[in-house]
């Protein structure tokens, strides 16, 4: 009987410790992510980067159009503005697509087991929503500029030129904000990955 106790007691202690380790691993161990979140975050990152790239291209064309208008090359400026408008429409479609992906990501948040990881995922989605909102503001600013520049072609009025410069500065400011939000998203996703 004493031999049996010597054998049973260590076995029970080992089993209790093993169950404790398994429960701790299940609670605090690696988090498995829902497939919707795993694929959605990659798609969101790609769409976000595409919006940034298109926005940079649009902003470059707008600045080039402004320089051509100032240099008296109205036809070139108008062609560049049309190209900027067309590219901006493409970015708008990407922003709509991104908002759909973010909705799916948000719906999958509750399936992320770790509270810390879930919080970081929520924060990354919030940043991307801010990027979409900033893109909409960028589009408004760009549209104002696209309407203003042709209306002031050839004008020597200093107030017209000042309005164009101010409108272009606002477009550039919005584009920089989009770039910063895209970087913040990347940083937050890397932090999320480390939390897993």
CATH entry 2.60.120 includes domain 34-195? no
pLDDT in tens, 29-59: 445 788 888 898 899 989 989 999 999 999 8
pLDDT digits (tens, 9 = 90+) for 153-185: 878 888 988 998 899 899 999 999 999 998 999
Q: Is residue 11 pLDDT above 80, yes or no?
A: no
CA distance 193 to 196: 6
CA-wise closest residue to 40 among 121, 119, 118: 121
Predicted model pTM: 0.76
The pLDDT value recorded for residue 10 is: 56
Name the burial class of residue 131, with classes exposed (0-12), middle (13-18) and buried (19+) by CB atoms within 10 angstroms of its CB: buried
Question: Tell me: the pLDDT tens digits for 121-135?
Answer: 999 999 989 989 999
Under 8 Å between Cβ of 52 and 175: no
Q: How many CA atoms lie within 13 A of 25 on its CB side?
A: 6
Place 21 in a pLDDT band, splitting at 50, 70 and 90: very low
Q: Identify which of 182, 143, 139, 142 has the alpha carbon closest to the alpha carbon of residue 52.
A: 182
Going by pLDDT thresholds of 50, 70 and 90, the confidence category of residue 2 is: low
* Residue 33: DSSP 8-state: P
Determine the pLDDT at residue 29: 46
Q: Residue 24 has what pLDDT?
A: 42
Q: Which residue spans within the chain are E strands per DSSP?
A: none
The C-alpha atoms of residue 163 and residue 158 are separated, in whole angstroms, by: 9
Q: pLDDT for 63-103, tens place per residue?
A: 899 899 888 898 999 999 999 999 999 998 999 999 999 99
């Amino acid at each position: 009987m004493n031999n049996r106790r010597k054998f049973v007691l260590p076995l029970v202690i080992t089993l209790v410790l093993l169950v404790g380790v398994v429960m701790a691993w299940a609670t605090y161990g690696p988090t498995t992510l829902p497939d919707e979140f795993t694929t959605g975050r990659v798609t969101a990152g790609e769409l976000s980067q595409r919006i940034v790239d298109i926005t940079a291209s649009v902003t470059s064309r707008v600045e080039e159009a402004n320089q051509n208008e100032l240099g008296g090359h109205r036809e070139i400026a108008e062609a560049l503005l049309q190209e900027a408008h067309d590219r901006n429409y493409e970015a708008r479609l990407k922003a709509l697509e991104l908002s759909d992906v973010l909705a799916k990501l948000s719906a999958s948040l509750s399936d992320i087991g770790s509270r810390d990881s879930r919080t970081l995922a929520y924060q990354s989605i919030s940043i991307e929503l801010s990027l979409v909102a900033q893109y909409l503001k960028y589009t408004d600013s760009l549209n104002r500029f696209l309407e203003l520049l042709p209306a002031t072609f050839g004008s020597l009025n200093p107030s017209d030129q000042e309005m164009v410069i101010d409108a272009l500065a606002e477009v550039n400011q919005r584009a920089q904000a989009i770039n910063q939000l895209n970087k913040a998203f990347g940083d937050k996703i890397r932090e999320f990955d480390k939390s897993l």
